[in-house]
Structure 1
Amino acid sequence: MADLAVAAPPPTDLFGEPIEAHPPWFKPDSFLRPDFDPDAYVADLRSYVPLDSLAAELRSHLASLRAELVGLINRDYADFVGLSARLKGVDAAAARMRPPLAELRDKVASFRAAAAAGLAALRSGLEQRAAATAARELLELLLDTSHVVSKVEKLIKELPSAPSDSSNVEAVSGDKGYSGNVATPPNMDDGTDVRETQSILLERIASEMNRLKFYISHAQNLPFIENMEKRAQGATKLLDGSLERCFVDGLEHRDDKVIYNCLRAYAAIDNTSSAEEIFRTTVVSPLIQKIVPQNYAKVVAGVSSDDLEDDYEQIMQCVEKDCKFILEISSLANSGLHVFDFLANSILKEVHLAIQKGKPGATSPGKPKQFLKNYKASLRFLDFLEGYCSSKPAVTKFRSEPAYADFMRQWHVAVYFTLKFQDIAGGLDSVLTATITPAGMHDNQAKPQTLLLKQSVKLLESLQACWSDDVLVFSHSDKFLRLSLQLISRYTTWLSSGLAARKASDGGSSSPADAEWALSVPVEDFIYVMHDVNAVISELLESGQFVEHVNQLLASCPTEVLALVKHSILQAVEPLKELLPAIMNVMIMVIVKRSNEDLKHLKGITATYRMTNKLPVRHSPYVSGILHPLKVFLEGDRIHYLSEDDKAKLRRGSTDKITSIYYDMVSEVVTVARKTESSLQRLRQGAQRRVGANTDTSDNIISDTDKICMQLFLDIQEYARNLRAIGIDAREIETFRALWQCVAPRDKQDNIQF
């Protein structure tokens, strides 16, 4: 073993950590896995590792394994050498142990075979037992089915000749029946007539038929059951006929006990619809036909009107008098009769059919007033029927019945709303597209504040129509609220379009059709517009009655809904409030435009005092005409329709703009005059220098610019006095102060006096 080299320690880095001898993709641990597959290993690595690199890495790994093996042998060389000496006699010991182990293996195999045979026999026995049990159950089911069919047939045969003595009845009735206040079994000791006895037997037969249906449903597709089905169907037919006759007889004689037993029988065989239909045709239909004639020829001839209110009153009296008894029976506690719904499937269904046949025009939305009156009467009738429901679940069940849905489906409320929408919205739109015209005072006596324009009157009338009793349908109140908001928006759009067209009229651009009114009316009519907008806002805001009226109609809604409704109306009015400054601006701009015609004469002052010795002694004539349009406007016969606040805004806005224009024109005149004066003076001085004349000028000579400024100063003083005459202090106008500074003498610059 001298040629065996000692394995070298693994290489380390600067920090003493061992350096990985293999690349990351080579995992020596993979060779130690029990499921290692060399072919799969090579196929997996060759997709991204060259075979030469893999072979080199495997040879390197093999060399390291050999080196490790040599190291282990050198470490335990003494034990390795003595291994063969310690293995002497092992073969003999193994030979002695082999026979007992073989014998034990044979015994275990035979025991396992015996246990498997026993388990198979046990399983076979259990399967046979289960099959026998299933067969016995099926046989019992078939026997029970046959017994029940025979019993039903026997009871049906005994039905026509049912005895009335108490002993026989007790034998077939047991503890079933109806007596007293429709709550306890009948007292058979006093004797029971044939009708009551038959009802008790029918209830008994019905319970047996229920069992029969249960048995047949659990034993389908069996020849025996298929043969029994004909007998079962025959028995069912006989039971239905006998039960119908007994139930009709009980209804005709108003026998509570018989009705109670028959209803229990119908409930037992799950045939509630037949009982409801029999009650409808036997009791309800004759009563309704007397109230609502179903001869359409009479309807066409005008014998019967489409009004349903009186008919509903009579129907409710009939229900109270002739139908209440069965409603009380079917609503008894612990009776099991809650499955019946005579309200919907008998009474309401018959009323629906009677209206369809006798008064088809009553549900036509083409006559809105009649339709709404009948619809509200129908809702009151439904409320009357719901009064017979004993609990909230009963009301829910009543409303979920198909008859209830069919009855409500005949009322085309959506079509009615569409017609009303066209009527209300179309009426307002036709007025808005017409020429603006004042409304008569007699049209507005019912309004909280007098309106002056027919457009404004129509708006409030339309809004009030949306929430009037003869228009509003509560179930569609959300649509009527939306219509109200659309009406307000339409009115606002009409105003804004007109104001925009008026503002753009100077540019000559075309305007929409609903804005022509603003171009054709005099500016004085905008007083009406301003007044009406304020009045409409006052009516629609919290101080008005409109929001309060809407909230009263929707008082049954949650508080959150009322708050949203109120907020939506107030939000719809906000754009209307924002138009007030624009309306005021239209009037101001017209007044300013008229005043500007007189202000143009100001430019003639320059020619008056140019190259003359004339001095100004009084204000110019044009000054009196500057504020004349504003005075005429404020003294007009319509101005009293504006509030004092609006009058003040009109005066101040007009005078501010007029003064601003006045300042611009004066500033331009003075500037041009000074430039001209300066140019002339330079020319004069140049000419004098050429001829050698004295260039000095006397200080006593007043220049043309000074004369112009003196005249303008007199003019603005008169203008200030005119402002004071209409209630405006000129010193409060910023542009007037600038105007004063422009033309006033130096010693009066800081003291505005006029």
Structure 2
Amino acid sequence: MASADLSAPPLAPTPHPRSTADLFGDPVDDSSPLWFKKDLFLSPDFDSETYISDLRTFVPFETLRSQLHSHLSSLKHQLVDLINRDYNDFVNLSTNLVDVDSSVARMRAPLSDLREKISAFRDCVHDSLVSLQNGLNQRAEAANAREVLELLLDTFHVVSKVEKLIKELPSVPADWSNGNMDTPEKTHLSNGVSLQQSENELNVRETQSMLLERISSEMNRLKFYMAHAKDLPFIQNIEKRFQSASNLLDERLGNCFKDGLKHRDENAIYNCLRAYAAIDNTRNAEEIFRKTIVAPLIEKIIPHGSSGFIGVASGDQLEDEFREMKRCIEKDCTFLLRISSRDNSGFHVFDFLANSILQEVQFAILKGKPGAFSPGRPTEFLRNYKSSLNFLSYLEGYCASRYAVSKFRAEPVYVDFMKQWNLGVYFSLRFQEIAGALDSALVAPTLVVAQNSHPEDSNFPALTLKQSVILLESLRSCWGEDVLVLSCSDKFLRLSLQLLSRFSSWLSYGLNARKLGNTNANPGSAWAISAGPEDLIYVIHDIKLLVDEVCGDYVGHVMELLSSCPSEVLDPVKQSILQSAKSLEDMTPPVIKLIIDVLVEKSVEALLQLKGISATFRMTNKPLPVRHSQYVSAILHPLKAFLEGDRATTYLDDATKKELLRGTAFEITKSYNELASELVNAARKTDSSLLKLRQGAQKRAGGSSDVPDGSDHYVSNTDKMCMQLFLDIQEYGRNLASIGVDATGIEEYISLWKCVAPADKQNTIIF
């Protein structure tokens, strides 16, 4: 490399624009804009394209390019300044770089040797690693082979052991009874052969059960081996031996379990159950108990031979049969149920209640008394259903815990037994029976008075109408003990609300038909057309009693039946019943309004005689009247006769009477005011017209006339008629007072008074 010329001048600085302040010796200011960040160029992750794209969103491209050129010039100027500042060092750097290639060659040689050594060592390590991995693989294969071989050997030994134990099983009791008893025991038992045989049989069963338990544990172990090596040819070859041993074990275990059940040997039964649990064959134990113990007991109670069911003569009632079953279970099944429910015994896998007892009971009922499950006869069906629930509750009493009860209820046999009781069809029949009875009563064309409705009747309140009595009977039937099924309580609640709604609709349809005069719109509304005010008294009376009963004892009875439900269920139930009662109570005002309309209509017939007053004074020259008209006493006669009648005094309370009295009096007075005002206004218009005609005739004649002026004491026909009406309304006010109504509190009466009263009595109402 050529040496650098030390005498070479330093680089000339690149000219760059200087600011005005620089020309006068002031330091150069950083005039870069704020958006131009020089530090970003030194960032390790700087990207020019991203930088430009970000700045172009708010900086013009020309401005950006100008600023970048300016920055480049500044950088070059700084580079030249740095070189000039350290120029000597820069020149010496080039002179010191002499024979660099030879130095590099000398350093490369040892590095190459080191690379070769490392490569050779890596190859050696790789070969050792491969060899080690192969050895480990072979070791793992050998371990797996050894494990499989040990498994096969254990399987073979267990199979042989099981077969040997099963074959020796029949000979164990004989060997034990002959060889294991000492001489004193033989001498002691020689006096009683039956006692010796009994004890020998007991020891034989216990020994057999213990041996069977041991065989079962070995069989369980064998099943584990067979499951883990089922694809191996050896296992496939001994599968027949396994099946044969398994079948033989099931047979011997079943015989031992049956023998233990017949003799109630608790130790033998306990060991057999442990054996069944060990081989996971609980179904066989449950089936053996069912056929050996349960089936003969149930057969005696509900005979169901193959020739057909025999229990027809006794009917399809199950109450007595369930009672007898409870006694038999208590006597003959409790010993096994007590054993299977021992704590920490592991016998929770058995369910003798469901799969043995309940299954046999269901089978016997289906074969011997199939009609017991039929809802076609609702009364018998409900009695059988409640008896079955009581029987299930009895069986649940043998469960040791809540978990056991839940497990019992979740068993398929339990679920299938509950499905036999078709509650949906039962409710449909009850619905037709209850709702049909009410509908039949409500379609009657008239209100029917109940024959046996007396206040002294303790079963029902003193309802007067047959329709009301049937409604209350229907409501009580929904929650009666002989009808209600608690699991269907929601349906019976809905039926109760429908009955109340149906009765309210019946009243509403009848009142609308009476108002419109049309009974064809809704069936069952004809009763309102023919009903008189006295008949409607029965309706008001019954509505009040029904509402009191529903809101009182009835809703209390329902709440008592549903007391096991949470409060968030009971509150809506109570509110729904009370709301239905309120809807029924709301029908009372329309009925009262109808009675008022009928009474007013009768009273208006007497008021029509007002029209004769005008003719009386216009056609004749009568003097001023001094007493009231005869028709006044007849105006309130329908109301008085109604309120003083036997039905009103017997069935209407004081509040209802008062409401009827005030309402009718107000409407009659309103009609009285309208008729009288119309009559007076018409008379006054007529007098005004006649006066104008007479005055016109006088002007044309040019002479005097007999037309009265204001100074005369002339009384017109209108004044006479008003005086008569004034006397009449005074009498009418006295009549209102006699029945307990203050006429001065009725605005229509005050308006009528001002219309017909003389000028000096306008502001004072005196009867």
Superposition TM-score, scaled by structure 2 size = 0.86
Q: Distance in 1 between matches of 2:696 and 2:118?
A: 150
Q: Distance in 2 between matches of 1:509 and 1:7?
A: 112
Matched, 1:305 2:315: yes
Aligned counterpart in structure 2 of residue 723 of structure 1, from 705, 712, 736:
736
Structure 2 match to 1:85: 92
Q: Distance in 2 between matches of 1:104 and 1:678?
A: 147
Indicate if the aligned counterparts of 1:344 and 1:401 stay in contact, CA closer than 8 A: yes
Instruction: Trace 1:370-381 onto structure 2 (pairs within 5 A).
Output: 370-381=380-391
Aligned counterpart in structure 1 of residue 643 of structure 2, from 604, 625, 634:
634
SS in 1 for 2:646: coil
Q: 1:240 to 1:57 in 2, by over 3 A?
A: farther
Q: CA deviation at 1:750?
A: 2.4
Q: Which moved more, 1:371-380 or 1:74-83?
A: 74-83
SS in 2 for 1:78: helix
Structure 2 match to 1:219: 229
Matched, 1:152 2:162: yes
1:47-78 deviation per Cα after TM superposition (whole angstroms, max 9, x unaligned): x99xxx98x89976874564244223333231
Q: CA deviation at 1:307?
A: 1.0
1:194-250 deviation per Cα after TM superposition (whole angstroms, max 9, x unaligned): 332221111110000000111122223111222222211111111111111111122
Instruction: Trace 1:492-503 onto structure 2 (pairs within 5 A).
Output: 492-503=504-515
Indicate if the aligned counterparts of 2:445 and 2:524 stay in contact, CA closer than 8 A: no
Q: Which moved more, 1:102-111 or 1:697-706?
A: 102-111
Q: 1:473 to 1:211 in 2, by over 3 A?
A: same
Q: CA deviation at 1:725?
A: 2.6
Instruction: Trace 1:169-184 onto structure 2 (pairs within 5 A).
Output: none
Structure 1 match to 2:617: 609
Aligned counterpart in structure 2 of residue 593 of structure 1, from 572, 595, 601:
601
Q: Distance in 1 between matches of 2:519 and 2:91?
A: 122
1:706-748 deviation per Cα after TM superposition (whole angstroms, max 9, x unaligned): 1121111011011112212322221222211221122111222
Q: Distance in 1 between matches of 2:658 and 2:765?
A: 23
Structure 1 match to 2:441: 431
Structure 1 match to 2:4: none
Q: CA deviation at 1:386?
A: 1.1
Q: Distance in 2 between matches of 1:503 and 1:454?
A: 24
Matched, 1:553 2:553: no
Q: Distance in 1 between matches of 2:619 and 2:696?
A: 19
Matched, 1:713 2:719: no
Matched, 1:578 2:590: no
Matched, 1:263 2:273: yes
Q: Which moved more, 1:233-242 or 1:121-130?
A: 121-130
Q: 1:244 to 1:297 in 2, by over 3 A?
A: closer
Matched, 1:76 2:82: yes
Q: CA deviation at 1:326?
A: 0.8
Structure 1 match to 2:503: 491
Number of residues of Structure 1 aligned to a counterpart in Structure 2: 716
* Structure 2 counterpart of 1:605, one-letter code: I
Q: Which moved more, 1:343-352 or 1:674-683?
A: 674-683
Structure 1 portions without partners, runs of 5+: 171-188
Indicate if the aligned counterparts of 2:447 and 2:531 stay in contact, CA closer than 8 A: no
Q: Which moved more, 1:107-116 or 1:130-139?
A: 107-116
Q: Distance in 2 between matches of 1:164 and 1:35?
A: 99
Q: CA deviation at 1:662?
A: 1.1
Aligned counterpart in structure 2 of residue 252 of structure 1, from 262, 266, 274:
262
* Structure 2 counterpart of 1:293, one-letter code: P
Structure 2 match to 1:185: none
Structure 2 match to 1:98: 108
Structure 1 match to 2:485: 473
SS in 1 for 2:524: helix
SS in 2 for 1:403: helix
Q: 1:8 to 1:704 in 2, by over 3 A?
A: farther
1:469-515 deviation per Cα after TM superposition (whole angstroms, max 9, x unaligned): 1111122122111211111111111111112222233xx68531122
SS in 1 for 2:492: helix
Q: Distance in 1 between matches of 2:307 and 2:288?
A: 28
Q: 1:462 to 1:288 in 2, by over 3 A?
A: same
Q: Distance in 2 between matches of 1:617 and 1:663?
A: 21
Q: CA deviation at 1:680?
A: 2.2
Matched, 1:565 2:573: yes
Q: CA deviation at 1:165?
A: 6.0
SS in 1 for 2:452: helix
Q: CA deviation at 1:592?
A: 1.0
Structure 2 match to 1:699: 712
Structure 1 match to 2:627: 618
Indicate if the aligned counterparts of 1:203 and 1:265 stay in contact, CA closer than 8 A: yes
Q: CA deviation at 1:633?
A: 1.9
Indicate if the aligned counterparts of 1:436 and 1:455 stay in contact, CA closer than 8 A: no
Q: 1:223 to 1:89 in 2, by over 3 A?
A: farther
Q: Distance in 1 between matches of 2:34 and 2:179?
A: 107
Q: Which moved more, 1:514-523 or 1:209-218?
A: 514-523
Matched, 1:460 2:472: yes
Indicate if the aligned counterparts of 1:206 and 1:268 stay in contact, CA closer than 8 A: yes
SS in 1 for 2:345: coil
Q: Distance in 1 between matches of 2:409 and 2:146?
A: 48
Q: 1:16 to 1:59 in 2, by over 3 A?
A: closer
Q: 1:357 to 1:448 in 2, by over 3 A?
A: closer
Q: CA deviation at 1:90?
A: 3.0
Q: Which moved more, 1:613-622 or 1:467-476?
A: 613-622
Q: CA deviation at 1:622?
A: 2.5
Q: 1:299 to 1:753 in 2, by over 3 A?
A: farther
Q: 1:503 to 1:514 in 2, by over 3 A?
A: same
1:662-685 deviation per Cα after TM superposition (whole angstroms, max 9, x unaligned): 112222222222222222222222
Aligned counterpart in structure 1 of residue 210 of structure 2, from 161, 178, 200:
200
Instruction: Trace 1:671-710 onto structure 2 (pairs within 5 A).
Output: 671-694=681-704, 697=709, 698-710=711-723
